[in-house]
Amino acid sequence: MYVLYKLARFALRRGWVKDKNNTIFDRRTGMMTLTWKGKRHAIPFVELEAGTRHIVNRPGIVRYHLFLYHRPTGMFAQHPAGNEHPWQVEVEWEYMQHFMDISRPLPDVPMFEPFRYKDPVTAEHDRRSGRYENYWRDMAVEKAEEMKKKSVEAAKTFLWGKTREEAMMWGWQPSGFGEG
């Protein structure tokens, strides 16, 4: 099974097989590429408007999805993974904006750790801040769980629609980790 996975990834990377239905967020170009009516289109990320859609599944379970809309063309994309709470969609949108902003380093999450050195802004940020190269890999599981718990609590209580400073004036407390 692993060999088939690796072979498929290699074929996609080489361009031998095209994945026509994926949506790509390219940090370097600032574009979102999607398939619309059978054709590939590139849309500037800064022109997207974000919203929340709720979908009720068959047993009556509500899931909230990030919905990205391009007003000039009418094209849209919806994040396939649903969330349990609306605030999680807000976090997802903030995360995507952070990722696509090339003036800022990549979000400091485990998924990007192997690639941080390849992004010039992130590499410079890590060098200046003294960030350890294997920060996430070498972190104790208990410490990561504590960070996650505090970050989730801060995200749940954030006053969405307000700036960080406005939210803090209203009594919101950041987690103490990263920017939130």
**178 within a domain of the structure (yes/no):** no
pLDDT digits (tens, 9 = 90+) for 65-123: 999 999 999 999 988 888 999 999 999 998 999 999 999 999 999 999 999 999 999 99
Is the pLDDT confidence value at 163 over 90? no
Beta-strand pair 24-26/75-78: unpaired
pLDDT tens column, 13-33 = 776 766 667 888 999 999 999
Let me know if residue 177 belongs to a domain: no
Cβ-based neighbours of 85, under 8 Å, separated by 6 or more: 64, 156
| 1 in any annotated domain | no
Position 71: which residue type? R
Residue 66 lies in a domain: yes
Burial class (CB in 10 A: 0-12, 13-18, 19+), 106: buried
Q: Is residue 16 part of a domain?
A: no
Half-sphere exposure at residue 80, Cβ-oriented, CA atoms within 13 angstroms: 3
Whether residue 101 lies inside any domain: the answer is yes
Per-residue pLDDT tens for 51-78? 999 989 888 889 999 999 999 999 999 8
Please say whether the beta carbons of 79 and 66 come within 8 A: yes
Number of domains in the chain: 1
* Burial class, 89, CB count within 10 angstroms (exposed 0-12 / middle 13-18 / buried 19+): buried
Domain extent for 156:
22-169
In a domain, 15, yes or no: no
